[in-house]
């Protein structure tokens, strides 16, 4: 959540840039606890909203002009709600422009605004700075225009803006958790039906700690497309073998894959084994959280990392170094890579009294093995977007 110093800094910059007093809105970033590379296989994911967010300080205008200032980039961008186009020079503004475009396409009446945007979600880390910006922008436009939109519809509209206006083919997880998150809860999302349920994770003095490799995901885009194709091929082949429709690997059980997986090309079998077992782990993890069994949930996180490393092959030396060092620290319940892979972050569940040792030992091991510095973010699990 935004601290008082940060709020004061953003408000002061608004006064300097535009004069007068703004209203403040926020939307959080996220980290996915378990359920990785399952989303485009119609499976299950389990993210939490974290206290790294995007803040928007804004005031409505009497015309249709939107004037933006980004504190992070020290840059301005301006556009009219009557003529929405891309800004090649300030691509960060295209997330705001795309949201405005699709809000208006949905029939909502928007007002122009002056706005200062600031985020402390590390860009490129896999903690979803883009979705936080989209959902914060939508929340601001709706409030200033005195318009209302169901949070689910708001999340879907923000996803559409990223897919079609920005041109990034993301799933729904990031926008859903940013809009729908609740403090102390994870959000189980069924990526086929888009149904969701809140799952409590409070208790035991356990914190979510994100360890950032400081490696940005160079291979993730091209390899993502390869994995997606391999999964689609595996689903088609398994459908023929099972004699029924298999729309996606979501439709295959662990037992069915064990019986028929040998007929798949070896690389496709490994990809399918990860996805099918990861869906099962995610649902077992939800059951463990519901009965307060954080130790079992942590074991499932560890199993997820091994599967992503060995079967799906989307980890890297940096992510493996963080996970393996974390597994040796007492008080760490579970650690796994999170996000697309090939860099980005690992996520750990750590008992409160072990956080300092976790940071020291994992940081030291990472430095010794790779000569790099890891960044650590001790997170609170917070609620979704709203007015500050």
From the list 42, 114, 174, 251, the catalytic residue is 174
Q: How many residues does the chain have?
A: 388
Closest CA to 271 of 295, 235, 323, 299: 235
Burial 255-266 (b: 16+ CB within 10 A, else e): eebeebbeebee
Query: Any alpha helices (H) in the chain, and if so which ranges?
Result: 4-18, 93-105, 129-144, 151-160, 173-180, 220-242, 254-260, 266-290, 294-310, 317-327, 355-370
Separation of alpha carbons 133 and 252, rounded Å = 36
d(CA 316, CA 322): 10
Cα–Cα distance, 33 to 55 (Å, whole number) = 24
**3 state SS of 357:** helix
- Is there a catalytic annotation at residue 114? no
**Cβ proximity of 358 and 323 under 8 Å:** no
Cα–Cα distance for residue pair 58/236, rounded to 1 Å? 50
d(CA 29, CA 50) in angstroms, rounded, equals 6
Residue found by looking up tokens 């999302």 in the block: 189
- The catalytic site residues sit at 174
């Amino acid at each position: 959540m935004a601290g008082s110093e940060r709020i004061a800094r953003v408000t002061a910059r608004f006064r300097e840039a535009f004069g007068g007093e703004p209203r403040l809105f926020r939307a959080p970033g996220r980290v996915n606890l378990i359920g990785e590379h399952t989303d485009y296989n119609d499976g299950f994911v389990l993210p939490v909203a974290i206290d790294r967010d995007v803040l928007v300080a804004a005031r409505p205008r009497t015309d249709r002009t939107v004037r933006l200032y980004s504190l992070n980039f020290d840059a301005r961008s301006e556009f009219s709600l009557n003529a929405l186009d891309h800004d090649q020079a300030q691509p960060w503004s295209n997330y705001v422009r795309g949201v405005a475009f699709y809000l208006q396409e949905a029939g909502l009446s928007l007002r122009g605004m002056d706005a200062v945007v600031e985020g402390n979600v590390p860009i490129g880390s896999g903690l979803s700075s883009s979705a936080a910006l989209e959902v914060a922008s939508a929340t601001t436009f709706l409030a200033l225009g005195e318009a209302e939109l169901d949070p689910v519809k708001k999340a879907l509209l923000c996803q559409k803006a990223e897919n079609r206006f920005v041109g990034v083919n993301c799933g729904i997880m990031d926008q859903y958790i940013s809009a729908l998150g609740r403090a102390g809860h994870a959000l189980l999302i069924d990526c086929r039906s888009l149904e969701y349920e809140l799952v409590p994770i409070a208790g035991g003095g356990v914190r979510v700690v994100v360890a950032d490799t400081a490696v940005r995901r160079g291979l993730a885009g091209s390899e993502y497309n390869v994995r997606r194709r391999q999964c689609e091929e595996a689903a088609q082949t398994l459908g023929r073998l099972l004699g029924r429709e298999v729309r996606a690997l979501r439709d295959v059980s662990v037992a069915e894959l064990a019986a028929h997986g040998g007929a798949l090309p070896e690389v496709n079998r490994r990809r399918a084994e990860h996805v099918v077992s990861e869906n099962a782990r995610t649902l077992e993890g939800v059951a463990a959280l519901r009965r307060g069994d954080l130790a079992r949930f942590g074991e499932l996180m560890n199993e997820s990392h091994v599967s992503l490393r060995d079967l799906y092959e989307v980890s890297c030396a940096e992510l493996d170094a963080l996970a393996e060092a974390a597994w040796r620290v007492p008080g760490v319940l579970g650690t796994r890579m999170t996000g697309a892979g090939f860099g980005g972050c690992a996520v750990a569940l750590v008992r409160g009294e072990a956080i300092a040792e976790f940071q020291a030992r994992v940081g030291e091991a990472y430095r010794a093995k790779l000569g790099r510095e890891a960044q650590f973010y001790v997170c609170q699990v917070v609620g979704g977007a709203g007015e500050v």
